[in-house]
């Protein structure tokens, strides 16, 4: 696989990992996709059941008129592919109604962003039972049932977790809900400011991170790691990296405006326990890697809020770590992690194209 040769060529130096990895506990399943064009009748049913905009604009929902309380809206991109990997959010928005109560919404979309559903929830009905009923109804009316639902919001963990516990899906609390992030950003830019009662001071700000990363468990160990880089073209059509050769990994979408010759920074981990390590990382839902230059730590962010200390950044590695972070910033947080036994083998055990996003 050319991916392996590219990584081997990109790795200028192999550096010892400072901590070990944990044992394998989970094996991820491949996602299925669904062609709307091949199942026109199901799409027509969804269109009849909801107020659906028949528009090719990916931001159709974001520019829609505000929904009345309790109303819902589904958008399906014509002729597009829908994934069974869904993303979900339930939270208040920066809008206050005439009754002085916040606007609450349930958002559901698939990982491609081609299927979107938005539903306004009365504030006195924001509870796990009502959310479960809404999710079950949406699933029944959707053209494809989800196999997995991911959600990122830690403040709503208990309610969402309880709501989905009786729904026949795999629930993944994590920060890799990229389609949902894009949709929320579009709504915060185009929808909420147009609503009566919009209060921009209610928009959440970033909080100072005072968490301390935990040591990785010692059952497995990454023997060496290297800061590496690959051109964006390798992740696009005709490139060497796609869903067929990334092992247990996952690829996030890439902004089409990023040029092909831009370099994506990454971290390659080499270990004889590559497959168990990749399996463990798959179960963790790796969010992103971060080189904390102040603390001189290489940190792995997982799930909703978990941090693991991968290694200490030495004086010799500081320049590479700075370049890693600078490269991430230049591409909006885009980077990757690769796990393989050795730079000279023919395949990776897991390859994750990630994006650091602050929800």
Q: Which domains, and CATH codes, for the chain?
A: 2-22+216-355 (no CATH), 33-202 (3.30.420.10)
**pLDDT for residue 161 is more than 90:** yes
CB atoms within 10 A of CB 246: 22
Name residues whose C-beta falls within 8 Å of residue 55's C-beta, 6 or more positions apart in sequence: 75
pLDDT value for 45:
42
pLDDT tens digit string along 18-74? 433 332 222 223 333 433 333 333 334 443 444 333 333 434 433 445 565 557 899
pLDDT value for 183:
96
Contact status, residue 357 vs residue 181, Cβ threshold 8 Å: yes
Question: What value does the mean pLDDT of the chain take?
Answer: 82
pLDDT value for 215:
85
C-alpha 311/C-alpha 19 separation (Å) is 6
């Amino acid at each position: 696989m050319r991916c392996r040769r590219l990584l081997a060529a990109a790795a200028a130096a192999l550096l010892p990992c400072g901590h070990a990895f944990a044992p394998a506990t989970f094996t991820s399943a491949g996602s299925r996709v669904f062609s709307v064009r091949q199942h026109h009748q199901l799409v027509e049913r969804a269109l009849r059941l909801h107020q659906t905009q028949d528009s090719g604009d990916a931001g159709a929902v974001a520019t829609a008129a505000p929904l009345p309380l309790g109303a819902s809206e589904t958008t399906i991109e014509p002729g597009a592919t829908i994934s069974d990997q869904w993303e979900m959010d339930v939270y208040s928005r920066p809008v206050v109604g005439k009754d002085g109560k916040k606007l609450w919404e349930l958002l559901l979309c698939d990982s491609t962003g081609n299927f979107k559903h938005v539903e306004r929830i009365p504030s006195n009905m924001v509870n796990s039972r009502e959310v479960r009923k809404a999710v079950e109804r949406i699933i029944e009316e959707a053209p494809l049932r989800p196999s997995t639902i991911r959600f990122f919001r830690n403040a709503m963990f208990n309610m969402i977790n309880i709501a989905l516990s009786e729904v026949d899906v795999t629930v993944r609390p994590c920060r890799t809900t990229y389609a949902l992030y894009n949709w929320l950003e579009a709504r915060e830019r185009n929808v909420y400011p147009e609503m009566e009662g919009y209060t921009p001071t209610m928009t959440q700000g970033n909080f100072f991170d005072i968490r301390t990363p935990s040591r990785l468990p010692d059952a497995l160990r990454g023997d060496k790691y290297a800061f590496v880089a690959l051109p964006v073209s390798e992740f696009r059509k005709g490139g060497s990296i796609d869903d067929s050769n990334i092992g247990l990994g996952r690829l996030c979408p890439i902004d089409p405006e990023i040029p092909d010759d831009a370099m994506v920074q990454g971290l390659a981990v080499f270990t004889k326990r590559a497959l168990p390590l990749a399996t463990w990382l798959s179960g963790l839902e790796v969010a992103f890697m971060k080189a904390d230059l102040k603390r001189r730590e290489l940190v792995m962010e997982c799930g909703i809020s978990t941090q693991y200390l991968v290694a200490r950044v030495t004086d010799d590695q500081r320049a590479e770590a700075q370049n890693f972070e600078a490269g991430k910033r230049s591409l909006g947080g885009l980077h990757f992690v690769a796990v393989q036994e050795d730079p000279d083998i023919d395949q990776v055990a897991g390859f994750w194209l990630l994006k650091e996003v602050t929800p």
